A and B are shown apart, each in its own frame.
Chain A
């Protein structure tokens, strides 16, 4: 009788423990037996929608592929989107809505740097895993917060890569032409610091704005400084004005651009002079151009889900971020919690995606900037090609 009693009590205890454990697991926000709810925040409307909406489309294409194959440990991933309008107040509201109204498990997003920076305190406070797919400001991930990672190249990484590229090309006298708005300063300051660390100062340090329509003075000063390379921290429009006026004055340095100038044909059209990009190279965050054969599968998947999209680098940002997210989710085990997911994110080392030039490594406690490998685009025999990858420490 006693044995029966003890066995019954043991069974009850086991059942209680199992029930409790199940309750705890099931209580993980955004995770049910057959679904994981993931949020995405970014600009979806207005002139900057390409950074948010198109990245989200890439992300959704990855989730769609995973779901077709049965999901992650049997759970399908469902994406819910919120528009930040590229505004700080919009991002804060969108993040709160995702966390507290939609109750998502994690967020993959962040398309405008200032908006994402504004939402950072709420993200940190809530502890929700947040993977950045497009925003580039270093302040989002530096100093590192336990729950925020980025797979996008950050501004400082690009600036350091620009300097390294120019030096590797043999430049000795470097001029800098930069926008000094928030976007430009986030790149300009790390660049000047990196130059200082190497005992260098720019031979010409000039400023342009988006509205500068003539760069004769900038070019004359770079020429006076005998610059052999010009690092451009510029959007395409002022960049085109600068290069056009350099051609006017017969100035032919090594031109070093960054990801803001990523539409080669359009940029040459803006300069208005054929062959003007001969000495120009620029950073790309992705390994393949959208029309490369390696992107065939993703082109088809994007087209299937979003008939109005032609695969772009913005879609590719979302694809890369999505693949990293899914890998961490797999590693988090069959019953993922936020803690196990973050542990898995922090364990990623040399993970290869279909789009990023280098491997993704997030296992440094000092940095959650997982993508340290900018690639370079340039003209070879009149054709646009990937001409190198810079790997930073």
Chain B
């Protein structure tokens, strides 16, 4: 029972992170139908922004977090302007390839700017690093921060899409770009902000998780795979699906490691992707073919 409790608690905390990563992937996909393969590297860059601000320059944690999220947002917007937007007319495959190129570029930049200071950079936690008792089990307090932060970000996203005009434009563009253009929505601008918002989500996830994962230029790919597995399982076009998928992937990972073998833990995300592609092509909450009118 103790093992089950610990695996569940850990699965939920790591799942919250995967949900945040998946959220960014889904937001971009919903609006543009592009899977941003550089999303994991935006996570990495967001983490390094926070590291620079908080560790290197000594700026307090909360302003560092906000500035890192803002910085990630800007990176998302800039890349749309210089790489993705010029290629949109060439078809989605061109944009997809551009995201791969951008992913390598971000890794290279990170190696140049933050490399050579030890291979894995520690990031101080927001709260005391010692474990605390929570619901009968020991848990790292930073894990609770991750869950709380992730839930907060998810709520922000929900409010953004439900109540703001920009959120509604994004949904309208995702639903039917041509119709959105006809009613006067500037679709290219919506795409730009979508890439920015997706990157901001990655930045937020990075700042929350950096004390637990450490920072290194290659961290992005692994977290992208986990986030993509969550998005594929939940439904690539569904924000609630991304959140559900994130928690499920976190739990599957832990239970696979605990009850099958630890060697299975890190590959379980790939198995989830394959399973979702074959048996649940629309994901658990995906709504392909259904359009709001």
Interface residues of A (CB under 8 A from B): 47, 180, 206-209, 211-214, 216-218, 220-221, 224, 235-237, 240, 244, 247-250, 263, 266, 269-270, 272-273
Contact = CB atoms under 8 A, between A and B. Distances in A.
A247 B129 CA distance: 10
Nearest to B131: A248
B262 A221 contact: yes
Nearest to B14: A214
A212 B138 contact: no
Contacts of B258: 216-217, 220-221
A206 B265 CA distance: 11
B63 interface: no
A345 to B, nearest CB: 34
Given A207-B262, A236-B119, A217 B14 contact: no
What class of interface size applies to chain B in its complex with A? 35 or more
Contacts of A47: 111, 115, 119
Nearest to A268: B122
Given A180-B263, A249-B138, A270 B120 contact: yes
A220 B129 contact: no
A208 B266 CA distance: 8
A206 B2 CA distance: 19
B6 interface: yes
Contacts of A220: 2-3, 6-7, 258
A293 B3 CA distance: 49
Contacts of B7: 216-217, 220
Contacts of A236: 119-120
Contacts of A266: 118, 122
A250 B6 CA distance: 13
Contacts of A270: 120, 122, 214
Given A272-B122, A272-B129, A218 B262 contact: yes
Contacts of B3: 220, 224
Interface in B76-133: 111, 115, 118-120, 122, 124-125, 129-131
Contacts of B138: 248-250
B151 interface: no
21 contacts: A47-B111, A207-B261, A209-B266, A211-B219, A213-B209, A213-B213, A214-B254, A216-B10, A217-B258, A217-B262, A221-B262, A237-B120, A237-B216, A244-B140, A247-B130, A249-B131, A250-B131, A266-B118, A266-B122, A272-B124, A273-B130
A143 to B, nearest CB: 31
Given A216-B7, A216-B254, 7 more contacts: A180-B263, A220-B6, A220-B258, A235-B119, A237-B120, A237-B214, A272-B129
Contacts of B10: 214, 216
Return the 6 tightest CB-CB contacts between A and B, nearest first. A217-B257, A211-B222, A269-B122, A207-B263, A237-B120, A248-B131
Interface of B: 2-3, 6-7, 10, 14, 111, 115, 118-120, 122, 124-125, 129-131, 138-140, 209, 211-214, 216, 219, 222, 254, 257-258, 261-263, 265-266
A272 B118 contact: no
A211 B214 CA distance: 10
B211 A272 contact: yes
Contacts of A247: 130-131
Contacts of B209: 213
A216, A250, A272 — most chain B CB neighbours (10 Å) = A216
Contacts of A250: 131, 138
A237 B258 CA distance: 21
A263 B261 CA distance: 30
A237 B139 CA distance: 20
Nearest to B250: A214
Given A217-B258, A269-B122, A272-B129, A212 B265 contact: yes
Contacts of A214: 10, 14, 212, 254
Contacts of A207: 261-263
A213 B254 CA distance: 11
A263 B118 contact: yes
Contacts of A249: 6, 131, 138
A211 B125 CA distance: 19
Nearest to B122: A269
B122 to A, nearest CB: 4
B260 to A, nearest CB: 10
A213 B14 contact: yes
A201 to B, nearest CB: 16
B266 A248 contact: no
A236, A250, A270 — most chain B CB neighbours (10 Å) = A270
